Amino acid sequence: MNQKLKSQLKKIKLFATDVDGVLTDGGMYYSEHGNELKKFNVRDGMGMVLLRNAGIYIAIITSEDTEIVRRRAETLRVTDLFQGAKDKVAVMEKLLERHALLWSEAAYIGDDVNDHELLKRVGFAATPADGIERNKAIAHYVTKKKGGEGCVREICDLLLNLHSPR
């Protein structure tokens, strides 16, 4: 990891993530009875718990609005959950204000067009290996893992390596 990347990561006090295509593989699964299902990676969840325990704020910002995501956030004890977010930059502005943080102290991972503007603003921008090319072009870091396959944990581990007491 280069020194510039380490310097950016050391400043991070808030980590936010998208859901579909990041915490999940982006697939839309439906049961025979029409119930929507999502598959979450437990290692991603553990990474978020470890970050919170290290004193980093955790947030989920998604344009979707589902009970499944609410329950996942509840399980992980994520209190900063923003569903139905049409303007993710405005949501992040409110979040930064709430925690008295600067843009340079925020990290975000997103995979698609509705994440692009937010990725351009944060201090550390990441996108999954299968994120769109437009986001890869501006990201500080493109994960080795795909969405739903541990890409969030990969970012959490980068942050934890620099924020954990030695």
Write out the E strands in the chain.
Answer: 14-17, 29-30, 36-37, 57-61, 80-82, 106-109, 124-127, 141-142
CATH of the domain at 93: 3.40.50.1000
Which residues have a Cβ under 8 Å from the Cβ of 77 and sit 6 or more positions away? 49, 52
How far is the C-alpha of 128 from the C-alpha of 144, rounded, in Å?
A: 7
What pLDDT does 114 receive?
A: 97
What pLDDT does 61 receive?
A: 98
What pLDDT does 2 receive?
A: 84
Q: What are φ and ψ of residue 135, in 5° steps? A: -75, -35
Let me know if 55 is exposed, middle or buried by CB neighbors in 10 A (0-12, 13-18, 19+). exposed
Token pair 């997103």 is found at 110
> Would you give the DSSP letter of residue 146?
P
Domain range for 137? 3-163
Q: Kindly give the confidence (pLDDT) of every residue in the chain, 166 residues in length, as a single tens digit, with 9 standing for 90 and above.
A: 788 888 899 999 999 999 999 999 999 889 899 888 999 999 999 999 999 999 999 999 999 999 999 999 999 999 999 999 999 999 999 999 999 999 999 999 999 999 999 999 999 999 999 999 999 999 999 999 999 999 999 999 999 998 765 4
- What kind and span of H or E run contains 84? none
What pLDDT does 164 receive?
A: 62
When divided into structural domains, the chain yields a total of: 1
